[in-house]
Amino acid sequence: MSKAKANKAQLAELFRSFIEPEFVITDDETLKPYECDGLAMYRTLPLIVVLPETVEQVQRVMRICHEHEVPVVARGAGTGLSAGAMPHKEGVVLSLAKFNRILDIDPLSRTARLQPGVRNLAISEQAAPYGLYYGPDPSSQIACTIGGNVAENAGGVHCLKYGLTVHNLLSAEVITAEGERITLGSDSLDSCGMDLLALLTGSEGLLGVVTEVKVKLLPVPEVARVIMAGFDSIAKAGDAVGGVINHGIIPGGLEMMDSHAIIAADDFCGAGYPREAKALLLCEVDGTEEEVSEHIAEAEALFRELGATSIRTSKNEQERALLWKGRKSAFPAVGRISPDYYCMDGTIPRRHLAKVLLEMEKMSEEFGLRIANVFHAGDGNLHPLILFDANAPGEFERTEAFGSKILELCVAVGGCITGEHGVGVEKIRQMAVQFNDQELQQFHDVKAAFDPLGILNPGKGVPTLKFCQEYRSLEHKQQRHEQAGAHHG
């Protein structure tokens, strides 16, 4: 294939021939809002931003970019937390913002057909009159879009019981790097051939651009009640999580907060959390009236038995909302006690919880940075918040190094470097810790099957092997240095 390089002006002209000129953005001032996603520490100004409004236009954008080998970064609401939607400086940002329509809700088959720019929460709002809702509920659900949810395999609080995006997605219409329009999956629960829909979900915009999706909807539970239980040690709270699950109860949500997060959240919104507790569990049970009464009584008894120092159970919707308010505002609450914070996202087998949290406390002292923990306890997904000051010289670099150590710790105990935020640019170094070169090469080969020229979101998700070798050798040197230091000390 002949490589026909085009400059910025030529590309813009090509796009303007079929997209309204004002939606082909080329000036720095208007490009500025697109320079980063929710992880604002990583920024790059793109060459051009386009906002197409039809699938045919998306297709044409892809064909032009493919022909000229121009990088394309698809973008939803830009709420991602791993710089997955950070632009490429020589590339085009393909915003799906205009694809914001809910195309159809079918209450009988319990499905919704959506354009990719539909907000996550809007799906449940539209489905509510039918007694239905959409399961995955990432914390950003008020703003994040379903297309981005597919790209990141978004999770949320209710995953243990209701699954991730991959479990709630029926089909996706995709424009490939080569500009082909394909549909992966169907209205049915499985499809013949390879499960490319599973591959697409969580692929961080590296395999295709989603232009339409169909999701499953679930019946809204009759009732939900939450138990708030305080514990005087992290280990006891961790045991209580295992205890509930071992008892055969799968909570709708099961969240844990450490003492720093408890106090910050309680100060922020007066949820009435036990401030002296070292760990707090929020255990939500949902289902039919009978089931919830049965399980709440059992879980309360279990928590008491396992050493809870305080227990409070919501008696009505108002109280349930109050108890959740502290957890839901944990991030802004922490934002109030520190100029900046950095939210990490690793997953661990739950049995290592106490060990990992203790280890993080130690690291916190070593790095001289405070840390607060909120945690999707049910599925082992940690969100350590490292508190720092971006204006203090060197503090962000230290924060990144600390974060990096946390992720490596997650891998060391059998977990992974990202539970739901994605690799993006942010965690690309740690991919070398989780995967060996053969595995990474296999990822590159899969990518090439969809995108032979590598124009979709280049530089994200999967690191080059050369980069990994350099990273590993640097790590190795550092370790040897530290060991030598320890001997001398």
CB 229 within 8 A of CB 273: no
Kindly state the helix (H) or strand (E) to which residue 257 belongs, with its residue range: strand 253-258
Residue whose structure tokens are 């449940």: 124
The token pair that represents 289 in the structure block: 């009236």
**Would you say 33 or 349 has its CB closer to another protein?**
349
Helices H / strands E in the chain, number of each: 18, 19
| Distance (Å, whole) CA 95 – CA 181 | 18
> Measured between alpha carbons, how far apart are the two ends of the chain, in Å?
61
Toward another protein, which CB reaches closer, 173 or 266? 173
Q: Which residues touch 239 (CB under 8 Å, ≥6 apart)?
A: 306
Our CB check for another protein shows the closer of 130 and 467 to be 130
Alpha helices per DSSP H over 253-379: 259-269, 289-305, 317-328, 330-337, 353-367
CB of 237 to another protein, least distance (A): 14
**In terms of CB distance, is 161 or 278 closer to another protein?**
161
Instruction: Copy the structure tokens of residue 287.
Output: 């289902």
Rg of the chain over Cα atoms, rounded to whole angstroms, equals 23
Smallest distance, another protein to C-beta of residue 143, A: 19
Q: Closest CB to another protein among 36 and 244?
A: 244
Half-sphere CA count of 31, side-chain side, radius 13 A: 20
Nearer to another protein, 202 or 274 (CB): 202
Looking at the Cβ atoms of 48 and 66, the one nearer to another protein is 66
Collapsing DSSP to helix, strand or coil, 424 comes out as coil
109 versus 479: smaller Cβ distance to another protein: 109
Could you tell me the CA-to-CA distances from 33 to 75, 78, 93, 298, 422 in Å, in that order?
A: 12, 10, 11, 50, 21
Compute the least distance from the CB of residue 220 to another protein, in Å: 6
Of 216, 220, 215, whose CA–CA distance to 114 is shortest?
215
| Beta carbon of residue 302, minimum distance to another protein (angstroms, whole number) | 13
- Give me the least distance between CB of 459 and another protein, in Å please: 15
Identity of the residue numbered 187: D
SS3 content of the chain, % helix, strand, coil (to 5): 40, 20, 40
| Helix, strand, or coil (residue 373) | strand
**One-letter amino acid identity for 466?**
K
**Residue nearer to another protein on the CB measure, 156 or 274:** 156
Q: 156-179 burial string, b = 16+ CB within 10 Å, else e? A: bbbbbbbbbbbebbbbbbbbbbbb
Residue 228 C-beta: closest distance to another protein, Å:
21
35 vs 451 by CB, closer to another protein: 451
Could you tell me the smallest distance in angstroms from the CB atom of residue 303 to another protein? 15
Say which residues have a Cβ less than 8 Å from residue 436's Cβ, sequence separation at least 6: none
Helix or strand or coil: residue 96? coil
Helix axes 289-305, 234-246, angle to 10 degrees: 140
Tokens coding 161: 């019981």
Strands 181-185 and 169-175, how do they pair? antiparallel
Q: Give the shortest CB-205-to-another protein separation in angstroms.
A: 12
Of 210 and 348, nearer to another protein (C-beta) is: 348
Least distance in Å: CB of 163 to another protein?
A: 7
Listing DSSP states for 105-162 in one string gives EETTTTEEEE-TTSBHHHHHHHHGGGTEE-S---TTTTT-BHHHHHHHT---TTHHHH
Tell me if 349 sits within 8 A of 85, measured CB to CB: no
Least distance to another protein from the beta carbon of 259, Å?
Answer: 24
- Least CB distance to another protein at residue 482 (A): 26
CB nearer another protein, residue 381 or residue 399: 381
Q: How far is the CB of 379 from another protein (least distance, A)?
A: 4
